[in-house]
Structure formats: structure tokens, C-alpha cells
Amino acid sequence: MAKKKLSRKQLRQPDEFIGFWTRTATAVDRFASSHTRALIVGATALATVVAGSIVITQLSERRAIAASDALDRVERIETADLIAPGVTPKDDGLPHFSTEKERLEAALKELDGTFGSGHPPLAVEAMLARGSLLLDLDRFDDAIACYEKLLAGRLDNHLRFLAREGLGYAYERKGRLDDAQRVLSKLGEDARDMDGFYKDRALYHQARLAEIRGNPADASRLYHEVLDKSPTTSLRDEITNRLASLELK
């Protein structure tokens, strides 16, 4: 069975790669919470130290909020409407483009301009966004390098899952199905580390790869297993469509 080119929708998984802004807000809240101890040391003799801690915390929080705003701008550029020749774009403070490639390259340039050096807040989320943009631009080797660098560091379990998922997609798009299988098969372990969170996605990828490798029976069995074990999965519509497609073959 010929390898099927994944659609943009399948690659981006918008509930994960695009929709990390909730985690951004959570990261800011977590950061603020982690510094509250500096505010309760209480002793008069430490008043200067406390005041200094408050200033540092406020500055750090402002940096985190600025980073979140920067990621939001990248997202807005990436998803902005394409402008047809001769059409005047709306004045929304964003650059406008006539092709998707131009738009993606502009979003990547904006991202690299803000997060390209140092250790800014939300750097991991920015790298996840970068990997996704590189995938959309068919720069698979660069995407692989990006995700491997992420996985070599210390990551929150949820972000590790997303980085590994992105790496699997990059290998798959490059045609390295054995490497994709090796990477994506570890998602089940990641899901167990999160008390089963994302377990539907982990199993879904195994089904998808079975389908791509020309094993429709295994793929169908695994798709049904996802639906049986996770009846409320957000992947239900996608899986239903894939099962319908398998039945027509």
C-alpha cells in the first residue's frame, strides 16, 4: 500500500499543537504560585529581601506574559487569512500574504526573532510551535532536530508527549516509518506516566501506522479499541472517518 501523505489537519492536531495557549496561562499561574513563599517570610529584618523578591517576581511574570503575547502573535500570523491579488487587507496590525508558504515562513521568522536566543519564558512551548511550523514547511530534518533537542531536555510529561508525537510525525513525513513506529510506540508509556491522559492518542497513532503500512485489519481493530476504551475521545470523528475509508477498500 502506498504511503499516504498526511493532510495539514492530521499533522497539526489543532487540539494539541495549536491549542497550547491554555498551558501558557497555566504556566504563568504556576510561575506566580511558585514565588509566593518569598512574600510570606514575614520578619521585619527581611523586609528588603522580600521587597526585592517581589520586584523580581513581577519582572519575571511580565516576561512570561510578554512571551505568551509573542506566541499569540505568531499564531495569529500563522492562521491569518490569505489575501487574493488586488484585495485590500484589513488593518489588523498583522502582515498579510498571498500564499500559505509565505505565511508559514513569516510566522517562523517572527517566532525565531522572539525566542531565538537565551532562555525566555515559554521557550519549550515556542520550540513545539517551531517544530510544527517546520513540519508544515516540509522541513522534516529541521523538525526532527527541533523535537530531538526538546526530548533531550527536562520536560513536563504533557509537553514530552507532544514533542514525541511531533518527532513521530516528522519521521513519518520523511518516509522513515520504522523510526516513526519506534518513537510513537513510546507514547503509551508517556500516557501511563500521566495516569492514562492521552492514552487514546497513543493507541490512535498505532492504528494510523498500521493503516499506512498496509495492515487494514490491525488498523481497524486498534481504531475500534480506541473508541471502546475512550468513548468520549476528541478523535472520534477522525477515527470514524478512517474506519469508513477502510471499509471501502
pLDDT surpassing 70 at residue 205: yes
**Could you tell me what percent of the chain has a pLDDT over 90?**
49
Specify the pLDDT at position 18: 38
pLDDT surpassing 60 at residue 37: no
Q: Establish how many alpha carbons lie within 13 A of residue 44's alpha carbon, considering only the half-sphere containing its beta carbon.
A: 0
**Can you tell me the distance from the alpha carbon of 248 to that of 242, in angstroms, rounded to the nearest whole number?**
10
Nearest to 239 by CA among 191, 206, 196, 214: 206
pLDDT in tens, 105-134: 999 999 999 888 777 888 899 999 999 999
Q: Quick one: pLDDT band at residue 52, thresholds 50, 70, 90?
A: very low
Higher pLDDT, 126 or 29: 126
Query: 3-state class of 108 per DSSP?
Result: helix
pLDDT surpassing 80 at residue 20: no
Average pLDDT score, the chain: 79
**Can you tell me the distance from the alpha carbon of 54 to that of 56, in angstroms, rounded to the nearest whole number?**
6
Higher pLDDT, 168 or 21: 168
Please give the average per-residue pLDDT across 135-144, as a whole number: 96
